Amino acid sequence: MTRPGRFDRTVNIDLPDLTGRRDILLVHLKGITLDEGLEKEAVAEHVATLTPGMSGADLMNVTNEAALIAARLDKKGVQMVDFEASIDRVIGGLEKKTKVLSPAEKKTVAYHEAGHAVTGWFLEHAHPLLKVSIIPRGSAALGYAQFQNKDQYLYTKEQFFHEMCALLGGRIAEELIFKSISTGAANDLERVTRMASAQVMELGMSNVIGNLSFKNPGPEERPERPYSELTLTKMDEEIRAFIKQAEDYTRNLLTEHKEDLIKVAEKLIQAEKISKDDMIELLGPRPWKELRTFTELLAGDEARED
């Protein structure tokens, strides 16, 4: 359809931004009965801040799932807690209450997730924490730390570094507490490796490789290597160096805040789920201002555009 002589234009439909998600949610909320005192505009703005990267279909799923959760509990209207529970379900899958972890596994998962939470808590460019849970969800996830991501299209090297540290926090916490490691960090390590590889090979963020970009071929693409074996060796060394730097920084941070790590993990073992308010009670407020509300996030986006 797009070859010469026919249609030569394509229309790209991106995922909705913050205001786009709010407007989509207002449409889907028309058929939802909200709890007394809740306004559709306020609900749409709050849910929009918690759902970056979601499509219109995902947002419809969130509103429908919230209504189902409220109906199962015989509520007269959907409450904000139902929307937050529906987001958890859409992102992480169903709670597997029948999947019983052994005490040792539960402790390992608790310290792993506490490692993510505590590391992110003390890093300026880490996303604000929403909740930490060690309740198994979906087919594989035994626990998760949920952060309030934001719509962001440009990243600095420092932001990449802090995100890598937060991802490595789970593995490092296991090492510090148990002197051994588990398979729970597989997804974290995959994401960290992709970030480090992108910085070195594609984004020109390595002083050794310089301002060069070598796109990694996809699984179906024919591999091409427009660089020498020497350059390949240097890129491999740089990727390892990027990850080692983040690993050392995270280990020092968690060693310094080991008591905080233990407090968060023990609270998780006891309650199985903790929120940002619990983290503030345990660790005190984060040292940096957080953009959390719809108005704050929107103002932050407009400031970046200016």
Q: Please list the residue range(s) of the chain that carry CATH number 1.10.8.60.
A: 18-92
Give the pLDDT confidence score for residue 306 in this predicted structure: 44
* 18-92 is a CATH 1.10.8.60 domain: yes
Smallest CA-to-CA distance from 283 within 272, 267, 295 is with 267
Beta bridge partners of 133: 144, 273
Tell me whether residue 125 is exposed, middle or buried, using C-beta atoms within 10 angstroms of its C-beta: 0 to 12, 13 to 18, 19 or more: middle
Q: Can you tell me the distance from the alpha carbon of 147 to that of 128, in angstroms, rounded to the nearest whole number? A: 6
Could you count the other beta carbons within 10 Å of the beta carbon of residue 239?
21
pLDDT tens string, the chain, 306 residues long: the values are 556 666 566 677 788 888 899 999 999 999 889 988 889 999 999 898 888 888 999 999 999 999 999 999 999 999 999 998 898 888 777 777 666 778 898 999 999 999 999 999 999 888 888 888 888 876 556 787 878 777 777 899 999 999 999 999 999 999 999 999 988 889 899 999 999 999 999 999 999 999 999 876 555 555 667 788 898 899 999 999 999 999 999 999 999 999 999 999 999 999 988 888 899 999 998 887 766 666 766 666 544 444
Give me the DSSP letters along 238-283. Answer: HHHHHHHHHHHHHHHHHHHTHHHHHHHHHHHHHHSEEEHHHHHHHH
- Residues catalogued as catalytic: 113
Residues 6+ apart with CB under 8 A from 217: 223, 224
* 103-305 is a CATH 1.20.58.760 domain: yes
Q: Please list the residue range(s) of the chain that carry CATH number 1.20.58.760.
A: 103-305
CA distances from 159 to 45, 236, 290 (A): 26, 21, 15
Give the pLDDT confidence score for residue 303 in this predicted structure: 45
